[in-house]
C-alpha cells in the first residue's frame, strides 16, 4: 500500500466521519458538558472514548473483510451508507435527546468517557468506521476517523455554540447525507465492477 493510498483513505475517512458527526448527539454532549465543566477533562474523556470505539470498529471491520467475500462486503457497505445518507437527510436537531442524557458523575473525565462511549456505541459513525475499515486500509481509517471525531468534539467544546448559531444543524446533516449516499453509489459501482 503506497503512502498516497494511505493518505487518501485517511482523508476520506476524516471527511466522511467529520461531516456525519457535526451536529450529532456526541458533539452536543461535549458542548453541554463543556458549558458546565472544565473543557480539558471533557476533551480528554471524549478523545479516550473515540480511541477505544474506533479501535473496536476497525478490528471488527477488518475481521469482516477477511472472512466475508468482497462482493458481500461492498454490498453491505452500499446498503449501510445509503441508509445513513437517507437518515442524515431526514434528521432534525437532536439537542432534546442529549439534554435528557446528561447527568453528574464523580469525575468529569470519567463521566465524559462513559457518556460518549454509550452515545457512540453502535452509532452510525461507528458503523461507518466498521464499513470503511472493511474496504480500506485499517490504520488509515482509524487515524482519519479518530482525528475527525476528536476534531468535532473540540468544535463542540470550544466553538460549538458559535457554529450552531451560524449554520443550521439540518444543513450539516444534509451535507453528511449527500456524502454517505455518494459513498453508497461508489460501493455499488465496486459491486458492479466485481462481476
Cβ atoms of 73 and 135 within 8 Å: the answer is: yes
Strand, coil or helix: 77? helix
DSSP secondary structure code for residue 2 in this structure: -
> What is the CA angle 173-178-180, rounded to 5?
90
User: Is the distance from CB of 123 to CB of 53 less than 8 angstroms?
Assistant: no
Angle of the 39-67 helix axis to the 108-120 helix axis, nearest 10:
30
With CA atoms as reference, report the closest residue to 90 among 99, 78, 98, 82.
82
* Contact residues for 84 (Cβ-Cβ < 8 A; gap 6+): 20, 124, 127, 128, 177, 180
Distance, CA of 7 to CA of 69 (rounded, Å): 25
What does the DSSP assignment read for 82-127? HHHHHHHHH----HHHHHHH----SSHHHHHHHHHHHHHTT-HHHH
Copy the grid coordinates of residue 51: 480511541
pLDDT tens column, 138-166: 899 899 999 999 998 888 887 554 555 56
Output the average pLDDT for the chain.
75
Share of the chain above pLDDT 70, in %: 70
Taking residues 38-64, report their average pLDDT: 87
DSSP string, 154-177: HIIIIIHHHHHHHS-HHHHHHHHH
pLDDT in tens, 75-127: 776 776 677 667 666 665 444 443 443 444 457 788 788 878 877 776 778 77
The predicted pLDDT at position 100 comes to 40
- What is the model's pTM? 0.64
What secondary structure letter does DSSP report for 22?
T
Amino acid at each position: 500500500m503506497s503512502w498516497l493510498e494511505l493518505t487518501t483513505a485517511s482523508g476520506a475517512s476524516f471527511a466522511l466521519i467529520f461531516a456525519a458527526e457535526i451536529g450529532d448527539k456526541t458533539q452536543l454532549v461535549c458542548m453541554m458538558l463543556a458549558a458546565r465543566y472544565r473543557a480539558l477533562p471533557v476533551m480528554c474523556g471524549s478523545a479516550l472514548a473515540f480511541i477505544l470505539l474506533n479501535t473496536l470498529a476497525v478490528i471488527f471491520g477488518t475481521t469482516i473483510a477477511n472472512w466475508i467475500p468482497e462482493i458481500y462486503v461492498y454490498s453491505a457497505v452500499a446498503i449501510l451508507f445509503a441508509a445513513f445518507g437517507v437518515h442524515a437527510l431526514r434528521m432534525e436537531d437532536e439537542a432534546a435527546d442529549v439534554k435528557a442524557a446528561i447527568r453528574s458523575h464523580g469525575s468529569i473525565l470519567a463521566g465524559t468517557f462513559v457518556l460518549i462511549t454509550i452515545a457512540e456505541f453502535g452509532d452510525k459513525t461507528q458503523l461507518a468506521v466498521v464499513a470503511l475499515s472493511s474496504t480500506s486500509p485499517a490504520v488509515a481509517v482509524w487515524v482519519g476517523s479518530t482525528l475527525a471525531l476528536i476534531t468535532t468534539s473540540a468544535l463542540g467544546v470550544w466553538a460549538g455554540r458559535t457554529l450552531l448559531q451560524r449554520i443550521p444543524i439540518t444543513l450539516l446533516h444534509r451535507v453528511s447525507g449527500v456524502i454517505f449516499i455518494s459513498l453508497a453509489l461508489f460501493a455499488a459501482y465496486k459491486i458492479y465492477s466485481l462481476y
